[in-house]
């Protein structure tokens, strides 16, 4: 393979030092991030012995148009930087965990005076604590349900400073009622949260020991009602713990990681051992990398997974050794503030347990592939039905658009995306119409599509926004389709544009293509799919329109009140959450906000009294 002139110049100037390299395509998009303790040797190796490379590496090399690099002092710094850059750019050719947003976490909201324990998909650097990621919603929901059954903590997200009486959960002994009895229950509530944290860290044994001691103490003090409550709590926890397999008499915290590869997919299975007991397992499907070396796959997984998780085990047990394991140990030990070792057993119990990890991973991959193939077969039939009506060809990615407004006010457009028949919510987009404020769906649709494709053709600045659709669906008929076709023609694009039309009852009726309407009455699976898309894009547009409308109403009301500027308006909305609550607030409640003085509070009361 002939090396491009600019690439040859870059290779000649590469330093013999540790660092990170970023490979870019012709549009400037980062397609691969790697690290090496010797940049010159590593990067140059991609362009030597082309025929001996794997198909994936060959495709990568062909697409490389530019290379940047960052020199680091040590290999550990290069590993950490590589991890951050992969998470930031999610390059096409790197081994990636499925988007983190798919994996739920359990969060203890320590930023609240009385914390909640809730599910979240977003991990941020704050005072809250995160546990996970978990591989399924079911596992998270079951865990949360168990916790709320055992521990009487609040589920609500209400502003506790404004609550006058406790909710139903308090009356059925499912909550201590911190909303009303704040200081009285503060110590007990704090103890409950600490017990939950111990449980989520996998230390059920130590939690049970504490609870049993408390039960005996309550019994000796003749507090039999309290002792019975603790007994019931212990029984539930023990029922969970009895299901856990004892795998180590030493009572250590270990994670065992196994990799199973299929023809096109692969899965990493993790067994979690806490206090010598097997407490959980999780499966993670990886994008790309089927023909990637074991060391690179495992290194990439460990960096992506353990830089987000809140708990760090003492030992990570793997099937095979790899080059950067010692450097990874130092990074993980620093993050976890405890010594972490990576080991590869050759025999004994650890080796047998790794074999069990592989068996579970293979079983999961078989089930995943079966479900995946079922979805693929269904989508293939849908595309065949569509092509039997309209010759659109293969449809890997489709984009659907809709417009929403009320008498031309708060004009918005939205885009939803489906890839291989599945929603791709990370690629959804919202557009606030800027060119006019009138009822003109054609002009609005023209602006939305022009803005979308001008960026696609000219910029390529955002990976998710730079994917070309194979099909464009419009919520509308011949007029809307004609407008979009004009936009496509102005950019020299030949992407099929299809309208989704509804009947007089606002239900999906058919498709419009090339100025002709096609009925969907004889295509059940295709009808269901089009109906789902039409409802989804309409829902997304309506939700965005409502958000802007409420925001506009809020801003217009508060902006009319003398003395209420941007800072005070923000403080009011943060405290009361909505205008209705501000309207009902008393003078004393308003003055309780640090930013609101007596005069401003009076102006607010006066304004709403005069504008009933």
pLDDT attached to residue 102: 54
pLDDT at residue 459 greater than cutoff 60? no
Q: C-alpha distances in angstroms, 397 versus 427, 447, 546, 578?
A: 11, 22, 28, 39
How many whole angstroms separate alpha carbon 239 and alpha carbon 150? 12
Give the right CATH number for 5-94 from 3.40.1440.10, 3.10.450.50, 3.30.565.10, 3.90.950.20: 3.40.1440.10
Give me 40's structure tokens.
């010159």
φ/ψ bin of 421: left (φ > 0), alpha (ψ from -120 to 50), beta (otherwise): left
Q: Please report which confidence band the pLDDT of residue 179 belongs to, taking 50, 70 and 90 as the band edges.
A: confident
pLDDT at residue 374 greater than cutoff 50? yes
Give yes or no on whether 5-94 and 254-366 have one common fold.
no
For residues 432 and 466, is the Cβ–Cβ distance under 8 A?
no
Q: What average pLDDT is seen over the chain?
A: 82
How many whole angstroms separate alpha carbon 472 and alpha carbon 401? 8
Q: What angle do CA 557, 559, 563 make, to 5 degrees?
A: 120
Pick from 438, 410, 343, 435: which is nearest to 547 by CA?
410
Torsion of CA 90, 81, 130, 355, to 10 degrees: 80
Peptide bond into 133 cis (omega under 30): yes
Model pLDDT for residues 18-73, shown as the tens digit of each residue: 899 999 988 788 889 988 888 999 999 988 888 888 777 888 888 898 998 888 88
Domain 254-366 sits in CATH 3.40.50.11540: no
For residues 35 and 20, is the Cβ–Cβ distance under 8 A?
yes
How many whole angstroms separate alpha carbon 125 and alpha carbon 115? 17
pLDDT at residue 9 greater than cutoff 50? yes
How many whole angstroms separate alpha carbon 281 and alpha carbon 467? 35
The CA-based diameter of the chain, rounded to the nearest angstrom, is 86
pLDDT at residue 541 greater than cutoff 80? yes
pLDDT at residue 298 greater than cutoff 80? yes
Length of the chain: 612
How many whole angstroms separate alpha carbon 223 and alpha carbon 215? 9
State which of 146-150, 283-287, 362-366 shows the largest mean pLDDT.
362-366
Lowest mean pLDDT among 240-244, 272-276, 287-291: 240-244
Q: Is 99 or 577 the better-scoring residue by pLDDT?
A: 577
How many whole angstroms separate alpha carbon 314 and alpha carbon 37? 26
SS3 sequence of 243-279: CCEECCCCCCCEEEEEEEECCCCEEEEEEEEECCEEE
φ/ψ bin of 514: left (φ > 0), alpha (ψ from -120 to 50), beta (otherwise): left
pLDDT at residue 135 greater than cutoff 60? no
Output Rg (C-alpha) for the chain, integer angstroms. Answer: 29
Give me 241's structure tokens.
């713990």
Model pLDDT for residues 185-231, shown as the tens digit of each residue: 889 899 889 888 887 776 666 677 777 888 888 888 888 887 887 88
Locate tokens 């849908």: which residue? 382
Lowest mean pLDDT among 91-100, 112-121, 299-308: 91-100
pLDDT over 70 percentage in the chain = 88
Q: C-alpha distances in angstroms, 185 versus 167, 182, 535, 585?
A: 16, 6, 47, 27
Q: What residues are paired with 69 via a beta bridge?
A: 21
How many whole angstroms separate alpha carbon 386 and alpha carbon 123? 40
Lowest mean pLDDT among 114-128, 336-350, 381-395: 114-128
Give me 366's structure tokens.
């078989």
Q: What residues are paired with 257 via a beta bridge?
A: 270
Lowest mean pLDDT among 177-186, 306-315, 402-411: 402-411
Superfamily designation of domain 397-550: UvrC, RNAse H endonuclease domain (3.30.420.340)
Domain boundaries, given as residue ranges, for the chain: 5-94, 105-245, 254-366, 397-550, 560-610
Pick from 133, 107, 128, 118: which is nearest to 282 by CA?
133
CATH number of the 560-610 domain: 1.10.150.20
Q: Please report which confidence band the pLDDT of residue 386 belongs to, taking 50, 70 and 90 as the band edges.
A: very high
pLDDT over 90 percentage in the chain = 18
Q: Please report which confidence band the pLDDT of residue 265 belongs to, taking 50, 70 and 90 as the band edges.
A: confident
pLDDT attached to residue 184: 85
SS3 label, residue 2? coil
- CA 179 from centroid of its chain's CA atoms: 31
For residues 466 and 89, is the Cβ–Cβ distance under 8 A?
no
Q: What is the mean pLDDT of residues 539-568?
A: 76
For residues 322 and 292, is the Cβ–Cβ distance under 8 A?
no
pLDDT attached to residue 381: 93
How many whole angstroms separate alpha carbon 258 and alpha carbon 594? 55
- CA 94 from centroid of its chain's CA atoms: 18
């Amino acid at each position: 393979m002939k090396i491009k002139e600019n690439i040859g110049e870059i290779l000649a100037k590469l330093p013999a030092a540790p660092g990170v390299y970023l490979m870019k395509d012709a549009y400037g998009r980062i397609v691969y991030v790697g690290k090496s303790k010797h940049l010159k040797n590593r990067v140059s190796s991609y362009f030597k012995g082309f025929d001996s490379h794997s198909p994936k590496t060959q495709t990568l090399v062909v697409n490389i148009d530019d290379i940047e690099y960052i020199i680091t002092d040590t290999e550990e710094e290069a590993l950490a930087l590589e991890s951050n850059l992969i998470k930031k750019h999610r390059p096409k050719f790197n081994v990636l965990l499925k988007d983190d947003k798919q994996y739920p976490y359990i969060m203890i909201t320590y930023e609240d005076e009385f914390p909640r324990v809730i599910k979240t998909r977003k991990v941020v650097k704050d005072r809250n604590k995160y546990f996970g990621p978990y591989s399924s919603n079911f596992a998270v929901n079951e865990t949360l349900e168990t916790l709320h059954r055992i521990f009487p903590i609040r589920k609500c997200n209400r502003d506790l400073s404004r609550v006058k009486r406790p909710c139903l959960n308090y009356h059925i002994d499912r909550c201590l009622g911190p909303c009303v009895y704040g200081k009285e229950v503060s110590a007990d509530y704090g103890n409950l949260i600490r017990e939950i944290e111990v449980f989520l860290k996998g230390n059920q044994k130590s939690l049970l020991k504490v609870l049993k001691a408390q039960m005996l103490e309550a019994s000796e003090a003749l507090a039999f009602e309290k002792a019975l409550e603790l007994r019931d709590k212990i029984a539930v926890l023990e029922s969970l713990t009895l299901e856990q397999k004892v795998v180590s008499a030493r009572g250590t915290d270990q994670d065992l990681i196994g990799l199973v590869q299929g023809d096109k997919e692969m899965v990493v299975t993790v067994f979690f051992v806490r206090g010598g007991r097997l407490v959980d397992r999780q499966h993670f499907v990886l994008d790309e990398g089927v023909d990637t070396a074991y060391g690179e796959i495992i290194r990439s997984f460990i960096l992506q997974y353990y830089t987000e998780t809140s708990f760090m085990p003492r030992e990570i047990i793997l099937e095979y050794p790899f080059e950067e394991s010692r450097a990874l140990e130092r990074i993980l030990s620093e993050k976890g503030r405890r010594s972490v070792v990576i080991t590869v057993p050759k025999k004994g119990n650890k080796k047998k347990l790794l074999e069990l990890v592989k068996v579970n991973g293979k079983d999961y991959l078989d089930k995943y592939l079966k479900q995946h193939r079922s979805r693929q077969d269904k989508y293939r039939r849908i595309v065949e039905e569509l092509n039997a009506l309209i010759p659109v060809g293969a449809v890997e990615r489709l984009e659907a658009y809709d417009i929403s407004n009320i008498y031309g006010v708060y004009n918005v457009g939205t885009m939803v995306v489906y890839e291989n028949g599945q929603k791709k919510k990370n690629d959804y987009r919202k557009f606030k119409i800027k060119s006019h404020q009138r009822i003109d769906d054609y002009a609005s649709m023209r602006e939305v599509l022009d803005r979308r494709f001008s960026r696609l053709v000219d910029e390529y600045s955002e990976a998710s926004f730079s994917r070309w659709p194979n099909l464009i669906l419009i919520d509308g008929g011949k007029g809307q389709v004609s407008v979009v076709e004009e936009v496509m023609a102005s950019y020299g694009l030949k992407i099929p544009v299809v309208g989704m039309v509804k009947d007089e009852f606002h239900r999906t009726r058919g498709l419009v293509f090339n100025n002709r309407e096609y009925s969907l009455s004889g295509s059940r699976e295709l009808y269901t799919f089009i109906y789902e898309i039409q409802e989804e894009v309409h829902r997304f547009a309506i939700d965005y329109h409502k958000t802007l409308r409420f925001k506009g109403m809020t801003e217009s009301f508060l902006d009319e009140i003398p003395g209420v500027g941007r800072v005070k308006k923000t403080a009011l909305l943060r405290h009361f959450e909505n205008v209705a609550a501000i309207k009902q607030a008393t003078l004393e409640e308003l003055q309780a906000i640090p930013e609101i003085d007596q005069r401003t509070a009076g102006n607010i009361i006066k304004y709403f009294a005069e504008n009933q």
